[in-house]
Structure 1
Amino acid sequence: MQKKLTHIGEILESVLAGLRPAKDTEMTRIWSLWPQAVGETISRETKPAAFRNSTLIVHVSCSAWLQHLTFMKQQMMQDINKALQNDLVKEIRFKIASLHN
């Protein structure tokens, strides 16, 4: 008899459901949707890092990308919310950080 494998995202979602508000746990989907939501080019230079109180913190590879993305913030929020099929992200804050933790 084979055991059914469970995706880590499902496990995290169920654990977080008891600890965080529903919209925060729903937001965990952004990690798997990130390249689709923002496009391959941007996803190579960024990664979602945290979400709290409708604000998404995004780590960015360098200051040039941070400046570029600041101008694209409104469109990014629309694209992310569209990918999530829910208006969860009301604000994005960019932070320069290592993308290879």
Structure 2
Amino acid sequence: MPEPADPARPADLPETVATYLRLRGLQPSPNSWRRRRRRRADDDENGPFTPGRDPHGVGDVIADLTRQSGWDAQLAREDVVRTWAEVAGEETSRHTRPVAFSDGVLTIQADSTAWAKQLQLMRAQILSEIVRRFPEAGVDAVRFIGPDVPSWKWGPRAVPGRGPRDTYG
């Protein structure tokens, strides 16, 4: 025994299309498949398949979150550190590393004092590359320091003036 025809679905309309149209809130008809139902004023925001209800990509959601939270500058500074090899060049990055960022000054530590001096001569080029690639990082100046060597003059147990290691007096 054949199934009775659904009065809401024309005979020439496939069942899958009719189901889709019914879920979208459209009344399938033999004349037009695009006739839309009238919307009530209270169901515009909460109804399924309404404009603006499409899911957003994870990248778009995270970008909106960082922009709204004010994290763009901090993330740009982290990108400078992460891509230091690209910013400074491969050879230079093998002998240097970013160590601090404070008040718009990026501090770079070099393996030797010779590298630190060479980088001071290249300061304008490196700073312009950082500003070009990461303008939101807020880097105003670059400071180059030599290797971190132990010092007798600094530290929690340093004595001001002539101290206990003074053997001349």
Question: TM range, normalised to the smaller chain?
Answer: 0.5 to 0.7
User: Conserved in 2, the CA contact under 8 Å of 1:24 and 1:52?
Assistant: no
| 1:29 equivalent among 76, 79, 97 | 79
Do the aligned partners of residues 87 and 56 (structure 1) sit closer, same or farther apart at CA in structure 2, a change above 3 Å counting? Answer: same
Following TM superposition, by how much is the alpha carbon of 1:85 offset from its aligned partner in structure 2, in angstroms? 4.4
- Please identify which structure carries the higher strand content: 1
| 1:80 equivalent among 98, 113, 130 | 130
Q: What is the number of equivalent residue pairs in this alignment?
A: 81
> Larger Rg: 1 or 2?
2
The answer to whether 1:43 aligns with 2:88 is: no
The answer to whether 1:67 aligns with 2:117 is: yes
Do the aligned partners of residues 62 and 71 (structure 1) sit closer, same or farther apart at CA in structure 2, a change above 3 Å counting? Answer: same
Structure 1 length-normalised TM: 0.68
Whole-angstrom distance in 2 between the partners of 1:29 and 1:68: 24
Local SS of the residue matching 2:107? strand
Following TM superposition, by how much is the alpha carbon of 1:82 offset from its aligned partner in structure 2, in angstroms? 2.1
Whole-angstrom distance in 1 between the partners of 2:72 and 2:134: 14
Q: Which runs of 4+ in 1 moved over 3 A?
A: none
Do the aligned partners of residues 22 and 52 (structure 1) sit closer, same or farther apart at CA in structure 2, a change above 3 Å counting? Answer: farther
1:5-16 pair list within 5 angstroms: none
In structure 1, list runs of 5 or more residues that go unmatched. 1-13
> Which structure's relative contact order is higher, taking Cα pairs within 8 Å and 6+ residues apart?
1
Counterpart position of 1:92: 142
Calculate the aligned-residue CA RMSD, in Å.
2.3
Whole-angstrom distance in 2 between the partners of 1:25 and 1:86: 9
Whole-angstrom distance in 2 between the partners of 1:95 and 1:59: 5
Whole-angstrom distance in 2 between the partners of 1:59 and 1:39: 15
Structure 2 length-normalised TM: 0.42
Whole-angstrom distance in 1 between the partners of 2:115 and 2:100: 18
Whole-angstrom distance in 1 between the partners of 2:102 and 2:122: 21
Whole-angstrom distance in 2 between the partners of 1:86 and 1:77: 13
Local SS of the residue matching 1:29? helix
